[in-house]
Structure 1
Amino acid sequence: MIVKFDDGTPITLEQMLLAKEKRVANQLFAITHYQQPIISLCLVIPGAIKNSSGAHYLFNQAIQALHQCLSTNNITIVNEQHYHQITGFEAIISVACQTEQLKKFCIDIEDNHPLGRLWDIDVIDPTTQLSLSRAQFEQRPRQCLVCDDVAKICGRAKRHSLDEIFTAIQHKIIHYGK
């Protein structure tokens, strides 16, 4: 299966920063309104095009994986909002679940689903209004899409070209589709 990541409109850094501010406001609204932990889903898409047919495919797969996990574990979705913008696809899902357990489920999805590395699934505690980190659960930082190093280190150092990264993403999608 070949999906495209170049069939969208490039965005600016300013648009991305404004989208992040809006995401935080949406998260705060969900926490305040529903008083439950939230899952905040974004995609790991490098480059200036964040809303493409490939990103849409990955978002739908992430939603399916989250719904399957929540259903399997009898976790009730209190509210779910999807945001499809030029800056990308996002979801904020309020659930009736203990925050730490929810984070463990989300780490499991990120680490074990064939496409999980392409998703950024944060869990935000309704009391502290802070995102739980992988380190709190003695989990290693996320691995680079291209090599075995820590993703943040490779990203900051710009060790891999966009072509290398998208080749790795396509590889994951192809193997998932088989």
Structure 2
Amino acid sequence: MACESGHLVSLPDGYAAVVFQGPEVALPDMLAARERRVDSLRAMLAAARQNEALLCLTLSIPGPVKTSPVLERVFDELVCAAESELADVAVRERCRTNDATGPEYYALVELPAHELKLRMVGIEEGHPLGRLGDLDVLARADDMPGQAAVNSISRRDLGLPLRRCLICGGEAKACARSRAHTVEEMQARIATIIEQGGYSQP
């Protein structure tokens, strides 16, 4: 069970170090990975049919370490949760990458984008590890002839509450913009969520 927002729980000494025992990546690496991700999204959206939406699943991990054996297990659990949620619909294409900049999972799903987003928000809010993942949903914007523009479906589009900060419970994006919490605080909180969810072993 995920721990209550806003309360740090003590962990065994060194546990966060185990969670984040992985390769460090620099800002240029992350920027290059973001560009590659956008290219991948555009390519998959270009092949999408009118009744399909694109799921992009990544981890939301602060700091220079974006993957490790423990974090890979967290990602595996979220992928399994997403695929279980989509067991009743057609998934025409799947793609997964495992790079030092963090694992990524893409799926073209035969669902209206807003319905797919609702299902993925259910995972983000209801799964023990859901708060550690970004389950983004994108659809084609056909107002640009010859180009598949990336049209991201937000919680705001659905009238849903915004994501909350793992530490203070405030708006997550606002805390990230203001750097309200240190990387070390965020890593400790993430380690707590993983440990309390029973996913502490790779």
Q: Secondary structure of the residue that 1:141 maps to in structure 2?
A: coil
Match of 1:60 among 76, 81, 91: 76
Larger radius of gyration: 2
Output the CA distance in 2 between the equivalents of 1:53 and 1:172.
16
Are the aligned partners of 1:81 and 1:91 in contact in 2 as well (CA < 8 Å)?
yes
AA in 1 matched with 2:48: Y
Match of 1:172 among 183, 186, 193: 193
Are the aligned partners of 1:55 and 1:89 in contact in 2 as well (CA < 8 Å)?
no
Q: 1:47 matched to which residue of 2?
A: 63
- Is 2:90 aligned against 1:76? yes
Output the CA distance in 1 between the equivalents of 2:109 and 2:124.
18
Q: Offset of 1:70 from its aligned partner?
A: 0.6
Q: Offset of 1:161 from its aligned partner?
A: 1.9
TM-score (norm 2): 0.81
Q: Secondary structure of the residue that 2:92 maps to in structure 1?
A: strand
Match of 2:159 among 135, 138, 145: 138
**Which structure ranks higher in relative contact order (CA pairs < 8 Å, sequence separation ≥ 6)?**
2
Output the CA distance in 2 between the equivalents of 1:98 and 1:24.
21
- Structure 2 unaligned regions, length at least 5: 1-11, 143-149
Q: Offset of 1:156 from its aligned partner?
A: 1.8
Q: Offset of 1:39 from its aligned partner?
A: 0.2
Q: Offset of 1:175 from its aligned partner?
A: 2.1
Out of 114-123 and 158-167, give the one that drifted further. 158-167
Are the aligned partners of 1:124 and 1:130 in contact in 2 as well (CA < 8 Å)?
yes
RMSD: 1.7
Which segments of structure 1 move beyond 4 Å, counting only runs of 4 or more? none
AA in 2 matched with 1:120: D
Q: Secondary structure of the residue that 1:100 maps to in structure 2?
A: helix
Match of 2:170 among 135, 143, 149: 149
Q: Secondary structure of the residue that 2:156 maps to in structure 1?
A: helix
Q: Offset of 1:34 from its aligned partner?
A: 3.3
Aligned length in residues: 176
AA in 2 matched with 1:15: D
